[in-house]
Structure 1
Amino acid sequence: MKDTGQVIIPKRAETQAKMDERSAVANRVCPDAAYTIADRWQERVDKHGNHPFLLYGDQSHSYRDVDCRANQVARAALAMGLTAGDVCAMALENRPDFYHVWFGLVKVGVVIAFLNTQVSGNALKHAISASGARAVIVGEECAHHFSAAEGLQGLQLWLLPDEEKPANSTDLECLDEAFYQAINTASAEPVDAQLRASITAESPAILIYTSGTTGLPKAAIYSHMRWLSSGDVMEVSIKADQRDVFYCFLPLYHGAAATSVTSTALSAGATIVLRRKFSVRRFWDDVCDYQITVCQYIGEICRYLLNFYDNAPMHSLRCIVGAGLNEHTWQQWITKFGQMDIYEGWGATEANTNLLNMDNYPGSCGRIPDWSKTNLRLVRFDLERNEYLRDEQGYLIPCEAGEIGEALGYIISSPDMGGGRFEGYTSAEATEQKILRNVFQQGDSFWRSGDLLKFDDNGYFYFVDRLGDTFRWKSENVSTQEVAIALGDAEGIELINVYGVQVPGHEGRAGMAAIVMQKGCGFDPEAFYTLTAKKLPDYAAPQFLRLCQSADLTSTFKLRKIDLQKQGYDPELCQEPIYIRDSRAKSYLPYDELLLQALGLSAIEADA
């Protein structure tokens, strides 16, 4: 790879040693090795059979307990006609059955697509179609999404009951109970590993969905090799071992919980405390009751906990791992809850590069002391023109310290190593859209992150923002185009322009929509709320509305958003009516400071 000239004098000599160790571990699993997640799982069962793998409420499931149920799932999958290489989707909330199904299917070489349990309608249909799934295992808690979905006729939908969240009989009519019955009657003895003999480390293992600029979910491919390597690298980074207890309350269909938590815990032979969803009231109780030592976070969770608690009890938490923690919140966390290691990182589900702060340097998401030992590059980007800056030869220009640029990952194509590969999506078109070619020289190729970062004189990196129309709210990527399409058929609306606006004290951006009504039509806030609740998950529904007299269009009839985003929902900057989404009133209410304070606009819905 061409040397782009980005040179930094290391501030801490040990950082490069840590990076070298991580790099060596990342390439421990060879691409063509007959070694999969199922093989790693079996090794841990053989070594830690009686050790707790899952703690769920008052239940304790050992490695061997989970393995026995997974064996039954594997046999049931075979009985239902699934074989190595097939894709099976699953829609399950955080409960032990998620792992039973996951590890059972990998035992027979089946690729698993993790469906977002909040997605419904056309987005759900598209997600299933994009995966190429032969069947979908549907948790009873998600039955209503499938009952209401159109265009799923002919697809095998297998029910997995849920005693905690039973569905009504109407929602269950479209689901087949044969798979669940096959599980309960199957033997718990291990299946023959030869059933997955055709599967190698570089074969696809799971599909995790990520929002794209098209507005519909894209299925990112995760190979066995990349999943295993991520866990091995994190185990070394945080010095995890069998004594650790990981706290998992983020949804398992997300990359953070499915990879960072699960792969690291499995690599270390550790225990996972599984919670259905985040509970602010139970957080420190859970930490103390289960003696949790490692917690995966997103920045909003940390801020939510800081606002809720004055201090923490004596606890066992030794480190937290995640993204979205700025320097101010970082310092508050340590001051209020005590000293612990914070591993702030940067990356993406489909990323072929990443960063991890291993120095406890507040606010940073990682450090690069030597550019020759990383495939990450930061290039200049013109935000106003929405294009890359180029030199006289037409190549992209590397950023210098202090400059904001887009992060790119050099794509390494080597049959002997997995590091630096871009595994892409199930859609070849979507994969190609994320690749930049001839970046620094003819013939090179880079993965485009869509993220803006910067670094200081000591090589510490900081996340700045997302490029384009996709923004993050409540830890989810939201596509403005998807929201606009979903709400575009609202009665009386002539035009809707969706964008993200900054909310003080919150990570990411909240959705806001500028609406132009048809002549002679009035805005109905209750009807619009009902439409958002019907068409969109909570996190994607616009939190603010602005009723405009006319649309701000370019000469090519493209919607302008820059000025709207700068004005946000500030009534002093917006000389037009502003509304706030209130789920209690099931309506959009006129802007009011007291209403804004009462709602809090929390990015994490807590089980209080």
Structure 2
Amino acid sequence: MSAARTEIVQTAARPGGSVSRAWLRALELTAPIPRQRGRVLPAVVDELGHRLGDKPALLSERECFSYRDLAGRARRYARWALARGVAKGDVVGLLMPNRPEYLAVWLGVTRVGGVVALLNTNLTGPSLAHCVQAASATHVIVAAELADALETALPHLAAPPQVWAHGGARGLGATIEALTDAPLGAEEARDVTIDDRALYIFTSGSTGMPKAVNVSHARVMQWGLWFAGMMDAQPGDRLYNCLPMYHSVGGVLAPGAVLAAGGSMVVRERFSASQFWSDINRWECTAFQYIGELCRYLLHLPRAENETGHRLRLAVGNGLAAGVWEAFQQRFRIPQVLEFYAATEGGLSLFNVQGRPGAIGHIPPYLEHRYAPALVRFDSDTGAPVRDENGFCIRCGVNEPGEALGKVRHDPAGAGGRFEGYTSAAETEKKVLRNVFAPGDAWVRTGDLMRRDEKGFFYFVDRVGDTFRWKGENVATSEVAQELGAFDGVLHASVYGVAVPGAEGRAGMAALVCEGAIDLAALHGHLAERLPAYARPLFLRLCPQATLTGTFKYAKTDLVRQGFDPAQCADPLYFYHPERRAYTALDAPMYDGICAGSIRL
């Protein structure tokens, strides 16, 4: 292994929290990416399989893979793809819960030029079918326990893919076991470079159904190595990951950073607040990935003896509000919190290496020219940035909220951080804002409002457009409104997010205009078949009529302002009560209970 390759698993000793050194580590680790064009993550894992052998790579209750196991397992999936005629650029969908096998699948298929579409395990029916179709998947590998969910999507596809069930005596697993895990021969290896597409990861944009984001091998390498540098990841680190592996953080960034350092990752199928500290201690984890909601759940737990006797040195993630941050870090004695902001599409990322509560990032002055986003004034009525008399956008002042934009760059040296867009050229173009500060320049719209304080720290303010976040997921209002409108008796549906005291993000609420009485139990059943739990409206408002402008902007603003407070509107309100598992009339005492936190969401 060359010196350049050796440094991936032999990082320097921790520098005592130096902000500059964190940035320098990340820059040093990612600098070789453009020069080593054939060096993709599957090839790196193959090398580490030889180098680190029996050292644990991925750990879980279900299975544990050493580096040798992971590399060998990936080679078997590579051979499976070759045997099925998966050509370079062909797409294989992956619908599987969190487990070590998940990583082996996409490492193997992408090793021989296939592209893997990471499918959201919460989706069913038309939503899941849309994702399969958007990725043009010709094969789908599905875990046995999710086969029924995939079946609901197949009737909505004009050309259903070939389905490979993983699990059971006759499943794909048995086929994989029968293949050799020996190194790929010359006749099997394909010329895969960092410029080739590796993955499709789905994200909800400002409007419409989920969009398939293009993720090249360059960006896979960039994510892993950059975070290895920012986290000061070490061979002795063990990262706890309970975030969905179909997302960029849980499925690419976290394992990429750990593997780049020669460390280990503990994989849990889903987050469990009651089991969290037991897992952290039993697996002797030194770091974990969070979203803000996860930390809030943990704070609601009764105090326990095992919540501070851990080996954690770091919590890394996004969406941690300042108040929750300080309480979380103090109560659980977390030495360092590394908050970051990044778009799956690329073009913009921020890192709060200093650990300032509530901030999502800060860029050293000497890197401003390369990484700083632009914050521009935003018109909430038009849904677009404000232009001056010359037609250019207006930069925000100190602490002035504005939409964050990331510069579109074509520099080959920055291949890992470039904006790569979606499978749809039209959707990609919608994301790009042109002639922003000068004729011909191009910037990526994030759809997020931010502000920057006098010391240069960035803070998230709110989402713009028709998407809000709830339970760590983006919810596209148009998709929810479409499913509501498909229910018999619903004439008009307006969907929006409302703030709930003490909760991260915004909860879904729908204002409905109905033809006569509506069966709320049947409506919930209808939504449960078509939408994941986080996308179903938590609150309903039954309106006598829709008072809309042509663009619907004004009416929606009023609805959001009134929220779910019975004192603010005379229309009947309903709340999906988690204990009763039904929509229940929302009165003043229930409203007070929700706001006080005595009624859990």
Could you say whether these structures have the same fold, taking a TM-score greater than 0.5 normalized by the shorter chain as the test?
yes
Q: Distance in 2 between matches of 1:419 and 1:271?
A: 24
Q: Is the 8 A contact 2:60 2:266 kept in 1?
A: yes
RMSD of the alignment, in Å?
2.2
Q: Does 1:403 align with 2:408?
A: no
Report the CA distance shift for 1:31/1:540 in structure 2 as closer, same or farther (over 3 A): farther
Instruction: Give the match for residue 238 of structure 1.
Output: 231
Query: Out of 416, 426, 430, which is 1:433 matched to?
Result: 430
Q: Is the 8 A contact 2:468 2:505 kept in 1?
A: yes
- Read off the aligned partner of 2:231 and give its amino acid letter: I
Instruction: Give the match for residue 550 of structure 1.
Output: 545
What's the CA shift for 1:67? 2.1
More deviation, 84-93/28-37? 28-37
Query: Out of 161, 179, 182, which is 2:167 matched to?
Result: 161
Query: Out of 97, 117, 122, which is 1:118 matched to?
Result: 122
Q: Distance in 1 between matches of 2:185 and 2:530?
A: 45
Q: Does 1:454 align with 2:474?
A: no
Instruction: Determine helix, strand or coil for the equivalent of 1:560.
Output: helix
- Read off the aligned partner of 1:65 and give its amino acid letter: D
Count of residue pairs the alignment pairs up: 576
Query: Out of 206, 213, 217, which is 1:220 matched to?
Result: 213
- Read off the aligned partner of 1:280 and give its amino acid letter: A
Instruction: Determine helix, strand or coil for the equivalent of 2:555.
Output: coil
Deviation track 1:120-170 (CA, whole Å, cap 9, x = no partner) reads: 11111111111122211111121111222213454201110169xxxxxxx
Q: Does 1:513 align with 2:510?
A: yes
Q: Distance in 2 between matches of 1:448 and 1:32?
A: 30
Q: Distance in 1 between matches of 2:168 and 2:540?
A: 38
What's the CA shift for 1:106? 2.2
Q: Is the 8 A contact 1:207 1:222 kept in 2?
A: yes
Equivalent residue runs for 1:269-280 within 5 Å: 269-280=262-273
Q: TM-score, normalised by structure 2?
A: 0.91
Equivalent residue runs for 1:116-265 within 5 Å: 116-149=120-153, 150-152=155-157, 154-161=160-167, 179-192=172-185, 195-265=188-258
- Read off the aligned partner of 1:349 and give its amino acid letter: T
Equivalent residue runs for 1:57-72 within 5 Å: 57=61, 59-72=63-76
Query: Out of 457, 461, 464, which is 1:464 matched to?
Result: 461
What's the CA shift for 1:555? 4.5
Instruction: Give the match for residue 327 of structure 1.
Output: 322
Q: Is the 8 A contact 1:352 1:409 kept in 2?
A: yes
Q: Is the 8 A contact 2:38 2:194 kept in 1?
A: yes
Q: Does 1:539 align with 2:544?
A: no
Q: Is the 8 A contact 1:87 1:131 kept in 2?
A: yes
- Read off the aligned partner of 1:318 and give its amino acid letter: R
Which sections of structure 1, spanning at least 5 residues, go unmatched? 1-12, 164-176, 604-608
Report the CA distance shift for 1:239/1:194 in structure 2 as closer, same or farther (over 3 A): farther
Instruction: Give the match for residue 479 of structure 1.
Output: 476
Instruction: Give the match for residue 166 of structure 1.
Output: none
Report the CA distance shift for 1:553/1:25 in structure 2 as closer, same or farther (over 3 A): same
What's the CA shift for 1:76? 1.9
What's the CA shift for 1:231? 1.3
Q: Distance in 1 between matches of 2:168 and 2:465?
A: 40
What's the CA shift for 1:56? 0.8
Q: Distance in 2 between matches of 1:31 and 1:503?
A: 49
What's the CA shift for 1:20? 5.0
Report the CA distance shift for 1:243/1:298 in structure 2 as closer, same or farther (over 3 A): same
Q: Distance in 2 between matches of 1:100 and 1:556?
A: 47
What's the CA shift for 1:261? 0.7
Q: Is the 8 A contact 1:31 1:417 kept in 2?
A: no
Instruction: Give the match for residue 36 of structure 1.
Output: 40
Q: Is the 8 A contact 2:26 2:228 kept in 1?
A: no
Equivalent residue runs for 1:570-581 within 5 Å: 570-581=565-576
What's the CA shift for 1:69? 2.2
Q: Distance in 1 between matches of 2:43 and 2:486?
A: 50
Q: Distance in 2 between matches of 1:213 and 1:295?
A: 29
What's the CA shift for 1:348? 1.6
What's the CA shift for 1:27? 3.4
Report the CA distance shift for 1:581/1:302 in structure 2 as closer, same or farther (over 3 A): same
Which sections of structure 2, spanning at least 5 residues, go unmatched? 1-16
Q: Does 1:501 align with 2:506?
A: no
What's the CA shift for 1:214? 3.9
Instruction: Give the match for residue 371 of structure 2.
Output: 374
- Read off the aligned partner of 1:386 and give its amino acid letter: G
Q: Distance in 2 between matches of 1:373 and 1:431?
A: 22
Instruction: Determine helix, strand or coil for the equivalent of 1:65.
Output: helix
Instruction: Give the match for residue 172 of structure 1.
Output: none
Q: Is the 8 A contact 1:109 1:196 kept in 2?
A: no
Q: Is the 8 A contact 2:285 2:312 kept in 1?
A: yes
Instruction: Determine helix, strand or coil for the equivalent of 1:93.
Output: coil
Q: Distance in 2 between matches of 1:557 and 1:231?
A: 42
More deviation, 18-27/328-337? 18-27
- Read off the aligned partner of 1:151 and give its amino acid letter: H
Q: Which has the higher contact order (CA 8 A, sep 6+)?
A: 1
Q: Does 1:305 align with 2:298?
A: yes
Q: Distance in 2 between matches of 1:379 and 1:66?
A: 46
Q: Is the 8 A contact 2:218 2:416 kept in 1?
A: no
Instruction: Determine helix, strand or coil for the equivalent of 2:458.
Output: strand
Q: Is the 8 A contact 1:525 1:588 kept in 2?
A: yes
Q: Distance in 1 between matches of 2:416 and 2:598?
A: 42
Q: Is the 8 A contact 1:515 1:545 kept in 2?
A: yes
Instruction: Give the match for residue 171 of structure 1.
Output: none
Instruction: Give the match for residue 27 of structure 1.
Output: 31
Q: Distance in 2 between matches of 1:581 and 1:392?
A: 48
Q: Is the 8 A contact 1:206 1:222 kept in 2?
A: yes
Deviation track 1:157-185 (CA, whole Å, cap 9, x = no partner) reads: 1110169xxxxxxxxxxxxx574443122
Q: Distance in 2 between matches of 1:68 and 1:140?
A: 23
Q: Distance in 2 between matches of 1:99 and 1:420?
A: 22
Instruction: Determine helix, strand or coil for the equivalent of 1:399.
Output: coil
Q: TM-score, normalised by structure 1?
A: 0.90
Query: Out of 433, 438, 443, which is 2:440 matched to?
Result: 443
Instruction: Give the match for residue 343 of structure 1.
Output: 338
Deviation track 1:407-446 (CA, whole Å, cap 9, x = no partner) reads: 1110111234315411111111111111111110011111
Deviation track 1:317-364 (CA, whole Å, cap 9, x = no partner) reads: 110111111111111012211141100111121121200100111111
Report the CA distance shift for 1:432/1:234 in structure 2 as closer, same or farther (over 3 A): same
What's the CA shift for 1:212? 2.3
- Read off the aligned partner of 1:450 and give its amino acid letter: G
Q: Is the 8 A contact 2:336 2:355 kept in 1?
A: yes
What's the CA shift for 1:398? 1.0
- Read off the aligned partner of 2:352 and give its amino acid letter: N
- Read off the aligned partner of 2:161 and give its amino acid letter: L
Q: Distance in 1 between matches of 2:171 and 2:293?
A: 41
Q: Does 1:92 align with 2:96?
A: yes
What's the CA shift for 1:232? 1.0
Query: Out of 563, 588, 599, which is 2:558 matched to?
Result: 563
Report the CA distance shift for 1:95/1:193 in structure 2 as closer, same or farther (over 3 A): farther
Q: Is the 8 A contact 2:112 2:190 kept in 1?
A: no
What's the CA shift for 1:498? 0.7
Instruction: Determine helix, strand or coil for the equivalent of 2:102.
Output: helix
